[in-house]
Structure 1
Amino acid sequence: MAIESVPLLDRARAAVLAEAEYERFADLVRSLDDDWTRRTDCPAWDVRAMVAHVLGAMESHVSPRELVHQLRAGGRAAGDRPLIDGITEVQVAERAHLSTSRLVERLTATAPRAARARRRLPAPLRRIPLKQDVGGVMETWTMGYLYDVIYTRDTWMHRTDIARATGRPLVLTADHDGRVVADVAAEWARRHGRPFRLRLTGPAGGTYVAGDGEEITLDAVEFCRILSGRGSGTGLLAQPVPF
């Protein structure tokens, strides 16, 4: 497939992906047993902290008051760092007192509501600018990009993190995970702007082409892990993509 043929995620399609990803994440979390203290590919977080972060994000979607609180508290926590770094710290810290069973209960109850709420984000909020560091370059995102794209990628990658940390199966299908990966590949291509032939293997994989350039064959999940900074790559694989 020509990489330019991958369509941008519109709001409706983004909402479908968000709903499915939240459901799969909740299913994985409900399967956890004595896995909560296992370390993940995010060095500062064990499985419990990672679930608390995802839950905190979900709860900010369903409650405008919680969203405002996280924006304000996250700004104070971030200091000179990007706002999103402070927000994630607040999400984890403010849920540290919850038992694992309570985390599961709240996540299960919140996930479907959060997916619906993300789709209904009002236009004025969608235009709010956010500063974020990507590969050492400070970018300006919009809240709409964060809600439509990044929160789903973030949850998807954390589902991968937890599956890797615990040995639980990672559910992957072409219609859902393949679409998430295709969107990542398309943004990666836009960011580096160079020709390539990319063959991603596995259930979420596909073949993407832009001209006649560097040839890359890689597992689709590993491709995303590298671009997210969880692995390392050379050549075009050194181009980061935000998750």
Structure 2
Amino acid sequence: MTLAAAEYARGAALLESLEVREWALPTECPPWDVRSMATHLLGYMRACASVREQLRQVRVARAHGGAIADAMSDLQVRELSALSPEEITAEMRALLPRAVAGRRRVPAPLRHLVRIASDLPVAGTRERWSLGYVVDVIGTRDCWMHRIDICRATGRAMELTADHDGVLVANVAADWAQRHERPVRLTLTGPAGGDFAFGDGGPAVSYDAVEFCRALSGRGGDEVPFGKEVPF
């Protein structure tokens, strides 16, 4: 949750720095522009901050049909489309502590027992994730990847540090290695990078840390060994 709080704060700061024209720029998640991505992030924070709001979003999304994560994201963007950039960023700042606290309060039995079906972004592979994995890992990783999306859409330099982004990247690398289950020595470059060894021996590969994560999420043209995508 320390990572979650820091990521929410960095995302809010990035959005606060944007000029009005930049909110309409397209992102790498069509049909979303920067504004749509921001409303998705705010809608997720609302769900984290309030159990009642989370249950409402789940109920409406299920009625819509399709993958629950996609349906909830679409709902968030539609419902918050009338908010101004100033209203979006102000509410993000106000919700930050409550959104983190709400995620922290999810009871341990629910974290382990509740399973959520979801499709991976590249190959459409169906997986069932524990609620704990969604709350503790995917919730922060999704916000982080969308901060990358917004930086790329607007041409802004992304704030990257080893004690925050480096931890998130290391988690992504471990997730990837667990899925392909083959030995590999991985070097990720840049402020969020590091050196990783999974198993004994295996090929040595090197990527920019951010581009490695983008490739695993289905963004960009780079290919990674073993062709395994990772949920974001």
Q: Take 2:133 and 2:224, find their aligned partners in 1: how far apart are those partners?
A: 27
Q: Take 1:19 and 1:120, find their aligned partners in 2: how far apart are those partners?
A: 14
Shift of 1:197: 1.4
**Paired residue for 2:201?**
212
Q: Take 1:176 and 1:91, find their aligned partners in 2: how far apart are those partners?
A: 27
1:187 counterpart = 2:175? yes
Unaligned runs of 5+ in 2: none
Q: Take 1:109 and 1:168, find their aligned partners in 2: how far apart are those partners?
A: 24
1:118 counterpart = 2:103? yes
**Paired residue for 1:25?**
11
AA partner of residue 147 (structure 1): V
Q: Take 2:226 and 2:43, find their aligned partners in 1: how far apart are those partners?
A: 31
1:67-216 superposed matches below 5 A: 67-77=54-64, 79=65, 81-126=66-111, 127-134=113-120, 135-210=123-198, 211-216=200-205
1:227 counterpart = 2:216? yes
Shift of 1:234: 3.6
Q: Percent identity?
A: 50
Q: Do 1:23 and 1:112's aligned partners in 2 also have CA atoms closer than 8 Å?
A: no
Q: How many pairs align? A: 227
Shift of 1:182: 0.2
What does the per-residue CA deviation read over 1:1-25, in whole Å, with 9 as the maximum and x for residues that have no partner?
A: xxxxxxxxxxxxxx11111111111
Cα RMSD between the aligned structures? Answer: 1.3
AA partner of residue 70 (structure 1): Q
Shift of 1:125: 3.9
Moved over 3 A (4+): 232-235
Q: Secondary structure at the match of 1:225?
A: helix
Q: Take 1:88 and 1:94, find their aligned partners in 2: how far apart are those partners?
A: 10
Q: Do 2:215 and 2:224's aligned partners in 1 also have CA atoms closer than 8 Å?
A: no
TM-score, normalised relative to structure 1: 0.90
Shift of 1:60: 0.3
What does the per-residue CA deviation read over 1:91-118, in whole Å, with 9 as the maximum and x for residues that have no partner?
A: 1111011111111111111122211221
What does the per-residue CA deviation read over 1:5-57, in whole Å, with 9 as the maximum and x for residues that have no partner?
A: xxxxxxxxxx1111111111111111111210001111121000000000000
TM-score, normalised relative to structure 2: 0.94
Q: Secondary structure at the match of 1:241?
A: coil
Q: Take 1:181 and 1:140, find their aligned partners in 2: how far apart are those partners?
A: 22
Unaligned runs of 5+ in 1: 1-14
